[in-house]
Chain A
Amino acid sequence: MGALAHYLEREGIPTTQISLIREHTETTRPPRALWVPFELGRPLGAPENPELQRRVLLAALELLDAAEGPLLVDFPEDALEGADGHDQDLDGWSCPVSFTQQVSQENDLEKLRSAFRREVAELLPWYDLNLEKRDRTAVVEFSPDAASELLGAFGTGEQPEIPKADLSLATALRLAAQDLKAFYFEAATARPGSALPSSEEFNRWFWQESTAGRILKAVKERCLKEGDKSLRLVGTLLLIPLDQS
Chain B
Amino acid sequence: MAHLDRMPEPMRSHLAELPCPSFKDQPWVSGQSLSRRRVALISTAGLQRRGDRPFEGMSGDYRVIPGDIKARDLVMTHISTNYDRTGFQRDWNVVFPLDRLKELAAEGIIGSVAAYHYSFMGATDPSEMEPPARNLAGLLKGDQVDAVLLVPV
Question: Which A residues are closer than 8 A to B by beta carbons?
Answer: 1-24, 27-31, 37-48, 50, 53-54, 56-58, 60-62, 64-65, 67-70, 85, 135-138, 140-141, 171, 174-175, 177-178, 181-182, 185-186, 189, 196-197, 199, 202, 237-243
Check B18 against A24 for contact (C-beta < 8 Å).
Answer: yes
Beyond A8-B137, A16-B149, whether A23 also contacts B4 by CB under 8 A is yes
B10-34 vs A, Cβ < 8 Å mask (1 yes, 0 no): 1100111010111101111111011
Check B20 against A11 for contact (C-beta < 8 Å).
Answer: no
Check B149 against A60 for contact (C-beta < 8 Å).
Answer: yes
Cα distance A94–B85 when bound, in Å? 19
Check B34 against A243 for contact (C-beta < 8 Å).
Answer: no
A168 and chain B: residue at smallest CB distance: B56
Beyond A1-B150, A8-B137, A15-B148, whether A238 also contacts B79 by CB under 8 A is yes
Check B29 against A14 for contact (C-beta < 8 Å).
Answer: yes
Q: Give chain B interface residues in 33-82, CB to chain A under 8 Å.
A: 33-34, 37, 39, 42, 44, 50, 54, 56, 71-72, 75-77, 79-82
B91 and chain A: residue at smallest CB distance: A47
Across chains A and B, the number of contacting residue pairs, with CB separation under 8 Å, is 248
Give chain A nearest CB distance to B82 CB in angstroms: 5
Cα distance A141–B147 when bound, in Å? 33
Check A11 against B134 for contact (C-beta < 8 Å).
Answer: yes
A-B contact pairs, 10 of them (CB 8 A): A9-B28, A14-B148, A16-B150, A21-B152, A24-B20, A27-B21, A42-B95, A44-B151, A138-B85, A242-B11
Cα distance A178–B8 when bound, in Å? 23
Residues of A near B147 (CB, < 8 A) are 14-16, 61, 64
Question: Which B residues are closer than 8 A to A by beta carbons?
Answer: 1-4, 8, 10-11, 14-16, 18, 20-23, 25-31, 33-34, 37, 39, 42, 44, 50, 54, 56, 71-72, 75-77, 79-91, 93-95, 97, 99-101, 103-104, 109-110, 120, 122, 126-127, 129-130, 133-134, 136-138, 140-141, 145-153
Check B91 against A17 for contact (C-beta < 8 Å).
Answer: no
Cα distance A5–B103 when bound, in Å? 25
List 7 tightest A-B contacts by C-beta distance, closest first: A41-B84, A11-B137, A3-B126, A47-B91, A40-B83, A17-B150, A7-B133
Cα distance A60–B148 when bound, in Å? 10
Give chain A nearest CB distance to B142 CB in angstroms: 11
Give chain B nearest CB distance to A64 CB in angstroms: 5
Check A39 against B1 for contact (C-beta < 8 Å).
Answer: yes
Check A5 against B150 for contact (C-beta < 8 Å).
Answer: yes
Check A28 against B37 for contact (C-beta < 8 Å).
Answer: no
Give chain B nearest CB distance to A60 CB in angstroms: 6
Residues of B near A182 (CB, < 8 A) are 85, 89
Cα distance A29–B25 when bound, in Å? 10
Give chain B nearest CB distance to A107 CB in angstroms: 26
